[in-house]
Structure 1
Amino acid sequence: MALARNRRRDKGGDYWPGFVDALSTLLIAIMFLLTVFVVAQFVLSREITGKDEVLNRLNNQIAELTQLLALEKSGKQDLEDTLANLQSSLAQSESERTRLQSLLDSGSGAAAQSEAKINDLTGKLNDEQQVSARAMSQIELLNQQIAALRAQIAAVEQALQASEARDQSSQAKIADLGRRLNVALAQRVQELNRYRSDFFGRLREILSDRQNIRIVGDRFVFQSEVLFPSGGADLNPQGLDEMSKLAAALVDLAREIPPDINWVLRVDGHTDNVPLSGNGRYPDNWALSSARAISVVKFLISKGVPADRLAAAGFGEFQPIAPGDSPEARAQNRRIELKLTEK
């Protein structure tokens, strides 16, 4: 029996460490959550403080001006009290002077003493009048300062109101400009698309009987064999004829497009993926594709197409339109593309 009781006691004592570990884990989790909450509160308070910083400074300035105004009013009240005391003293002096004058009239024996007192009181009266005049000037100065402080407070309030009004007006103007810009851009795009359609429509009419010339999306594609000899960038006779037709269409189109539409015809040169031999005129397909595009642009310029409406680019073999290495795919990839875009 004793052995059983000892076993039960030992078995009951094993629960306590697990309970302590669970309680410690719970406390750590609660501390972690409290730490996250405190950090979040700190970040939010920093953001709110940053947004209200300007308003707090203006409120502080208004509070300072209000305190100065209160101090000036208090000083004014003190001076007014002083002035009242001086006026009371002046009245008493006048009363004393009147009394002495009556004594002087009634008794000639005290005339000299009364005259002396009168002179003394007259001097004191003059002094009091001067002090009173200075107090009045100080009161006037304080009134001017108070008026200036009130003007400053009114200016600060007007500045706040004007700032809020400007902010609202700016937001409205920005929204209106955005809408107007979107409408203008849409109109420009529509006009350019219309002239692009006219341009490609004319090219279709001019070059519709050519099997090696086709339209791919928004681009007009010439096969390189139509325009250039193999491995060269000088236009052959057939290429000169095709580019002359293209130049005539471009010259007519340039006259019709309004000058405020900033269009450009981009000439892109492409080759197949066959490397060039090192003994040729061009070291690689990059140079060959660029030279062919430049050759077309220069010829169009010589036929009267404005140079500022043309652009040349070479892409080598890195933008094929036909996958694979078959002769047919390579022939399609050797091409000159024309694309009418906006600058």
Structure 2
Amino acid sequence: MKKLMIFGAAALLTLSSCVSKKDYMALEDKHKETQDLLNTATVKLNKCLADEAASAARLQELKDRLADMKSSNQALIETSKDLTVLTTQGAKNVEKSLESLKEKDLKISRLQDALTKKDSVTLALVTSLKKEVGLNDEDIEINVEKSVVFISLSDKLLFKSGSYNITSRAKEILAKVATVINGKPNFEAMVEGHTDNVPYNRGGVLQDNWDLSVKRSTSIVRALQELGVKPEQLIAAGRGDHLPLVSNDTAENRAINRRTKIYILPKIDQFYEMIETEMKELSKEG
């Protein structure tokens, strides 16, 4: 561009020396036109350079945004994978929880069945004893205590005062009890003797009310054995005067406390063992 201007000027000087004024003016106009074109081209060139710089900056901005979008997209993909894993694990956990609940429901149902069966056995036993004994006597009680069936007999039906030898009346009642026990070979009978708090002082082999209560129990156990009850089904126990029903402050109350209880214990160990096992399993599983 500079060479063109120098050339034009030189040509103008040369021509001015050898051309007419008219031709000179024409050349000068031509030079001015050329200068205008040059200026216009320069402006356009500068604008193109500016546009190019702006386009380059815009391109870099778009590249940066594209890189950010790719990074974000990759992060979303990774998060989606994590969520998929979490969702799958969550579904498995829910499934396990449902299975655990089903197992617990089954175990609870089994416990309820066992308890229902135990209650049914207890009720049947009470009915059987009341039917067999068949007595409406205030000195004979047939009932349930802590899920255990028992017969409570007043001592005046069984023994004379201070004695451990059973009466003939007692043998009649014990014969009916023996009939029930003999009809249920899987049952046990625990005979438990009780006295009042009056000290035993008749001497002999018995030292105190402990001895008297146990001796009376063994007398009944032997009577039941003689009536056909297997000895392995029988248990003798004595509580002395340490478990009174009422205060020993009157003769009537002391008579109430002098009693013998015969617990009829169905062998439901399998039920209790199952209940205990199931409860332990439920505790472990939380």
**TM (normalized to structure 1)?**
0.43
Q: Aligned letter for 2:161?
A: S
* Whole-Å separation in 1 of the counterparts to 2:106 and 2:143: 37
Which of 132, 141, 164 in structure 2 is aligned with 1:214?
Answer: 141
Q: How far 1:180 moved relative to its partner?
A: 4.0
After superposition, give the CA deviation of every residue in 1:307-330 in whole Å (9 maximum; x if it has no partner): 343332211111111223211111
Aligned pairs for 1:1-343 within 5 A? 171=100, 175-176=104-105, 178-205=107-134, 207-208=135-136, 210-215=137-142, 218=145, 219-252=150-183, 254=184, 263-277=187-201, 279-343=203-267
Number of corresponding residues = 174
- Aligned identity (percent) is 27
* Whole-Å separation in 2 of the counterparts to 1:331 and 1:324: 9
The 1:186/1:272 distance shift into structure 2, 3 A limit, reads same
* Whole-Å separation in 2 of the counterparts to 1:335 and 1:217: 16
Instruction: Please identify runs of 4+ aligned residues in structure 1 that moved more than 6 A.
Output: 167-170
Q: How far 1:198 moved relative to its partner?
A: 1.8
After superposition, give the CA deviation of every residue in 1:185-218 in whole Å (9 maximum; x if it has no partner): 223222222222223322451x33x453234655
Structure 2: state its 5+ residue gaps: 1-92, 268-286
Aligned to 1:53: none
After superposition, give the CA deviation of every residue in 1:89-111 in whole Å (9 maximum; x if it has no partner): xxxxxxxxxxxxxxxxxxxxxxx
The 1:294/1:285 distance shift into structure 2, 3 A limit, reads same
Q: Aligned letter for 1:305?
A: V
The 8 Å contact of residues 199 and 250 in structure 1, kept in 2 or not, is answered as no
The 1:271/1:324 distance shift into structure 2, 3 A limit, reads closer
Structure 1: state its 5+ residue gaps: 1-163
The 1:179/1:244 distance shift into structure 2, 3 A limit, reads same
* Whole-Å separation in 1 of the counterparts to 2:228 and 2:188: 15
Q: How far 1:181 moved relative to its partner?
A: 3.1
The 8 Å contact of residues 129 and 180 in structure 2, kept in 1 or not, is answered as no
* Whole-Å separation in 2 of the counterparts to 1:168 and 1:186: 27
**TM (normalized to structure 2)?**
0.51
- Which has the larger Rg? 2
* Whole-Å separation in 2 of the counterparts to 1:336 and 1:241: 15
Q: Aligned letter for 1:192?
A: V
Between the two structures, name the one with larger relative contact order (CA 8 Å, sep ≥ 6). 2
Q: How far 1:238 moved relative to its partner?
A: 2.5
More helix by share: 1
The 1:199/1:294 distance shift into structure 2, 3 A limit, reads farther
* Whole-Å separation in 1 of the counterparts to 2:253 and 2:206: 23
Q: Aligned letter for 2:244?
A: P
Q: Aligned letter for 1:182?
A: L
